[in-house]
Amino acid sequence: MKKLFTSFLVLSLVFSLFGCGERESSPQPNTSADNKTEAITESSTEAATEAETEESTTETETTESATETDTTEAATETDTAESATDTDPVESTTERVVLDLEDISETKENAFTCTYDGVKHDFILSLPDEVENAPLIVMFHGAGDSPENFRRTSGFDNDALPKGYAVCYVGGTVNGKAGRNSRSWNYGRLEPDNDDVGFIKALVNYLADEYSIDKEHVFCAGFSNGGFMNFRLALEAQDTVLACVSVGGDLCKTLWKVRPEKNDVGMLVVYGENDESIPKNFDGSSKTALDPAIEDVIDYMASSNGLEKKSEDEIGDGSILCKYGADSDKDMVWSVVVNDGKHGWPTKELDGFSVNELILEFFENWR
């Protein structure tokens, strides 16, 4: 009996220990939601990897593309995809306080560092022959990239400077507190984060004062993560920017929910037919995406401007260009679906049309 009783006590103690362990173990967080990988397809045969040091840039050659990971959209969002189209536009009441740029220093010819609200940025300025009253184009790189590399791989200076534009290539930042572990932009998904909209406003003010560029003709364009940022500027910098261009980017869900009812910023949206980073209605990818379908975003940009579709034409190798306008106004919203395109910067060699030339043609509507 004593042996039987002792065995019973041992078994009871074992079961008790197993039960306590099960109750006290913490649930493991889901870290798989919204991890995006962006692949950059470049027109040249080079793809550069930017070291995260201040002045060191390493460029390597390849015939294909560079891959960048946008950790901005990583595991902090674990909710399932929802339909954002049910949310009506709202009038924004937020007023942004714009500070001055500080600690401006020229590191080499036309390359600068500065701080805005304590956050360090860098930028490269390319100037036309006639600088005074030149219109300005601000260019935004993708996640993990740099101003210098984007300047080189896009070749945008070659097209913009002869037309009299000043071009400023700006650098994003790393912000681990907001989940951004590579150089990128605060396009609105995560808070707290850097005030990159305020930074761009302050930069425009500085360039207008320092170089006498035309503050009334400021445009923006960006690729991938920089394209996401351009959607934010179109919504929140209407007093600074005339028109924005997003290549391979979309409007994040967070901003979609608070989008203004009216908008007077022009928008050119360029995306690949097979770009897996862009939610689309026509291929069903929007059904499982966090962000709204790009078609719905384009419709919003047009309708909030009071515009209707005016034309639909084929450009390049079967890509479709749609223009939205009003009878009494110029075309203010354009969209391009790149035929068989992926996540890249379209070129004549690869796609039959140059996105650089298209961007400048679009901006000419305001000159």
Domain covering 85-366, topology: Rossmann fold (3.40.50)
Say if residue 141's pLDDT is above 60: yes
Task: Work out the angle between the directed axes of helices 196-211 and 225-236 (0-180°, nearest 10).
Answer: 80
Residue 62: per-residue pLDDT: 29
Buried b (16+ CB within 10 A) or exposed e, 130-158: eeeebbbbbbbbbbbbbbbbbbbbbbbbe
Is residue 147 reached through a cis peptide bond, with omega within 30 degrees of 0 on the bond before it? Answer: no
- pTM for the complete prediction? 0.79
**H or E, element range at 173:** strand 173-175
Identify the band that residue 246 occupies on the pLDDT scale cut at 50, 70 and 90.
very high
- Token pair 């601000």 is found at 138
CB-based contacts of 210: which residues, under 8 Å, 6+ apart?
A: none
Alpha helices in the chain (DSSP H): 2-24, 147-154, 156-160, 196-211, 225-236, 253-256, 294-303, 348-351, 355-363
Residue 181: per-residue pLDDT: 84
What's the CA gap between 19 and 338, in Å, rounded? 58
What's the CA gap between 89 and 147, in Å, rounded? 34
Q: Which of 337 and 93 is assigned the larger pLDDT?
A: 337
Strands (DSSP E) found in 264-318: 266-272, 308-315
What's the CA gap between 138 and 207, in Å, rounded? 11
Average pLDDT of every residue of the chain: 81
The arithmetic mean of pLDDT across residues 104-132, rounded, is: 97
Identify the band that residue 189 occupies on the pLDDT scale cut at 50, 70 and 90.
confident
- Give residue-wise pLDDT tens across range 8-28: 433 343 333 333 333 232 333
Say if residue 40's pLDDT is above 60: no
What's the CA gap between 364 and 159, in Å, rounded? 13
Residue 245: per-residue pLDDT: 98
Residue 88: per-residue pLDDT: 61
Residue 158: per-residue pLDDT: 98
Residue 94: per-residue pLDDT: 54
- Give residue-wise pLDDT tens across range 52-72: 333 333 333 322 333 333 433
